[in-house]
């Protein structure tokens, strides 16, 4: 491929999302003449732009507009169409995030482009770029290729390696003024729930609880364990339905899909809908009183016991390791 690769780099809370860097890796595997990263927002994008330069972007395009401060489909789509018109990329790479899942197919439809979503690998074989994505709730994988250009691709977080960081490396930064017209929705105010800790979708360690947590006390233990490990807390659908955890933490077929290095499932039976959201984790540890719980069928390590006894022991042992 001799054309350009355009990476749509998402920023959250003023910081560059990790999957934006994984998208650079994906773009590179198409062997483009240039990897261009685009940042959309209302301002404050200089530091994320610098981070993209250190991680290997050849050029960065910053698009700032007051209507891009909070995500709306119309504003983002119009802005991206203007970037694509100017740059004429052969491949466009998104992170498979809430924003990427929404705007990427809209952009592909407007461009008449092929799209592969939720890719977990991008590799070159025999001169052809092959894209691997899970199907049937992660029970199987399919390999796709693009037969035409432009092509649109979204990458699942925590699956591709991060590009190497060079401390003194920089990339040219350009600012593109866009004209956004006839927006059907305008965000006047964003009211956020209080959120702390690591982003669940990109966490390297996830500690998840199910109905076996029995409520707030159980999740307090899980949050403490996650803090010790530098990870994030998740929940099963059952725990969310019972009111033990917010639906924003739900992992599963109707929630978030996570692929951390370590997944600790505490008090989760292992319904197929939950497994669809975490079975791609590199190491799975299950804690459950029921030795016949389905979660043990996918776990690399299993602990048969009461999480209220097991988790405090794990917390203390991990604290000792960190101190030593």
- SS3 sequence of 119-169: ECEEEEECCEEEEEEEECCCCEEEEECCCCCCEEEEECCCCCCCCCCCCCC
Domain range list for the chain: 4-175, 200-323
Cβ atoms 94, 23 nearer than 8 A: yes
Q: How far is it, in rounded angstroms, from Cα 93 to Cα 26?
A: 7
Q: For residue 194, is pLDDT > 60? A: no
Q: How far is it, in rounded angstroms, from Cα 23 to Cα 157?
A: 9
Cβ atoms 60, 53 nearer than 8 A: yes
Find the distance separating the first CA and the last CA of the chain, reported in whole Å: 50
- Low-confidence winner among 137-141, 293-297, 300-304 (lowest mean pLDDT): 137-141
Binding residues for FAD: 211, 236-237, 250-254, 267-274, 288
C-alpha 196: how far from chain center: 17
Protein fold of 4-175: Rossmann fold (3.40.50)
Return the CA Rg of the chain.
Answer: 21
Q: How far is it, in rounded angstroms, from Cα 302 to Cα 123?
A: 34
pLDDT tens digits, 92-139:
999 999 999 999 999 999 999 999 999 999 998 777 899 999 998 788
Task: Grade residue 193 by pLDDT with cuts at 50, 70 and 90.
Answer: low
Q: With the C-alpha atoms ordered 179, 181, 186, 192, is the resulting torsion angle positive or negative?
A: negative
The reported pTM is: 0.86
Whether 4-175 and 200-323 share one fold: the answer is: yes
Assigned CATH class of 200-323 = alpha beta
Binding residues: 211, 236-237, 250-254, 267-274, 288
């Amino acid at each position: 491929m001799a054309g350009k690769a355009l990476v749509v780099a998402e920023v959250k809370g003023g910081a560059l999302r990790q999957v934006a860097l994984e998208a650079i890796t994906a773009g590179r595997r198409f062997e483009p003449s240039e990897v261009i990263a685009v940042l959309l927002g209302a301002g404050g994008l200089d530091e994320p732009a610098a981070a993209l330069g250190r991680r290997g972007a050849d050029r960065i395009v910053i698009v700032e507009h007051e209507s891009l401060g909070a995500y709306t489909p119309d504003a983002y789509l119009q802005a991206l169409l203007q970037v694509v018109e100017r740059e004429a990329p052969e491949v466009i790479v998104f992170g498979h995030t809430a924003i990427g899942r929404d705007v990427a197919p809209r952009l592909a439809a407007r461009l008449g482009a092929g799209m592969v979503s939720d890719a977990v690998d991008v590799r070159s074989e025999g001169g052809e770029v092959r894209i691997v994505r899970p199907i049937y709730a992660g029970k199987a994988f399919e390999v796709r290729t693009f037969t035409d250009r432009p092509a649109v691709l979204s990458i699942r977080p925590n699956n591709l390696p991060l590009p190497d960081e060079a401390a003194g490396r920089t990339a040219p930064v350009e600012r593109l003024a866009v004209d956004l017209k006839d927006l059907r929705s305008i965000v006047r105010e964003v009211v956020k729930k209080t959120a702390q800790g690591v982003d669940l979708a990109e966490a390297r360690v996830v500690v998840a609880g199910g109905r076996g947590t029995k409520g707030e006390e159980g999740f307090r233990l899980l949050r403490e364990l996650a803090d010790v490990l530098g990870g994030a807390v998740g929940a099963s659908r059952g725990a969310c339905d019972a009111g033990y955890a917010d639906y924003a933490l739900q992992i599963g077929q109707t929630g978030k899909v996570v692929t951390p290095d370590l997944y600790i499932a505490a008090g989760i039976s292992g319904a197929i809908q939950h497994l669809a959201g975490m079975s791609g984790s590199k190491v799975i540890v299950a804690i459950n009183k029921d030795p016949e719980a389905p979660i043990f069928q996918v776990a690399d390590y299993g602990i048969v016991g009461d999480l209220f006894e097991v988790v405090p022991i794990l917390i203390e042992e991990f604290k000792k390791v960190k101190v030593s």
